[in-house]
Structure 1
Amino acid sequence: MPFLSSELALRELILLSIAFVLCSVVGLERSIHQKNAGYRTHVLVGMGACGLTLVSWYGFGAGIAGHGAGIDPTRIAAQIVSGIGFLGGGVIFKGRNFVRGLTTAATIWITAAIGMSVGSGLVVLGAMLTVAHLLTIFIVGPLIRKIPPADRRREMTIVYEDGQGVLRKILGAATDQGFAAEVRSTRRLPRKDRDLISMELRFFGNQPLRELVVPMSEIPGVDRVLLHGVAEDEDDDDETSA
């Protein structure tokens, strides 16, 4: 039978080996960044996608040429895409105000695409996907992170009750949201009913600073939150009272 020939077996072995090498590169990058879905996950996904594509093409395509009228060899490849969607969703973690794992989920998609490309014989495409991934992660991504955010000059004033441990909660909430905080100044506000502290802070992070307004205002003991020191393209203040 033609699909049991040594020539075809050698071709399958070469394609699987190429998929292993290319997916290993992607997996190593994830492992270097200490992601939960690391080397093994990406290599297995890529090898599986490559193997299923080979089955789809040679097992149900070329292998049944002239015998399987009405059989579509692309169905297995289509199911790979659906299956990888569920796997990628498993590495995404969504908190109240943030989402993590999107890059890792995207790399799983890329790994599957690399495996499918190589399994289909499109080795150059698989290699280009691998190179594009590395360029995005190691070169383009870091360059983009160096671009100052639009609200880089903004500061936040938080008025909170003194003696309630609120400051510790504020700094903890900022850290959970991926921000580093710098306390610029503090002053006590004269009140008869309670002791209030007005604190000026500057936050540093990759997300828009306005995303911190609601989480900060929801902290027990916070009286109000004021975002000010507007950037060049903004001319109004955002204020939220707890």
Structure 2
Amino acid sequence: MIFSAETQWWQMCVALAVALLLSTAIGFERQSKNKSAGMRTHAMVGLGAALFMVVSKYGFSDVLMVDLVRLDPSRLAAQVISGIGFIGAGLVFVRRNQVRGLTTAASIWVTAAVGTSAGAGLVWPAVFVTAAHFVIVYAYPVMSRKLRFGLPGRWVLRVTYLDGVGALRDVLSTCTEESFQVQGFTTTRGSGETKRVVERLIQRDEATVTAEFIEIELEIEGSAASSTIVSRLSQLGSVTEVSLVDEAE
């Protein structure tokens, strides 16, 4: 598909949709082999790159056609691409040989492309990519769970519980009962202010012991849905909070 100078906005959106489809296909192959970067990451990177190219080709035609001005305004967009790479790199980190933050870094890349497109006056391509981003974020995880080919999922859970009541043992045993394997965990003791809050809660229940909040990040792996283990852990009496930090991709 080759566009002319009179390319319409819907034709640009078609090109973006093709980029989204092809990038998703590549990401699907990577995710089927349980690699770090899956469908969401590949789709966002491909979609953002396509929008940057659309902006570079069609975002400056109004400037270049006025009195035959000889300049290259696309160089500013190129600097945006270079600069956003540093921000994205700072969001990616490795924890216990697992790469984290790839999808977040890819979303920053897409956001930069959307901002560049809107600034260049290509409003509809920017709207299309923004809508596609929400599809990737909300629909792709559902697709991923249905297309895992039996491969286990990996999650990081943040669990807060009361110290000194055997809560950690209960948390680990609950994960095992739900067929999740604990790959590792790190713990953080609550602050002094948190300790005072816990003491007030214990006094209100007429208990005589004092305790602190302990925050633990669990890296788990299993074939069941993450909502299952979150629900089970939330039902433990010694657990005060459970949240899903991220899903490896």
Same fold (TM over 0.5): no
Looking at both structures, which has the greater relative contact order when contacts are Cα pairs under 8 Å and sequence separation is at least 6?
2
Pairwise TM-score range, normalised by the shorter structure? 0.3 to 0.5
Q: Which has the larger radius of gyration?
A: 1
TM-score normalised to structure 1 length: 0.38
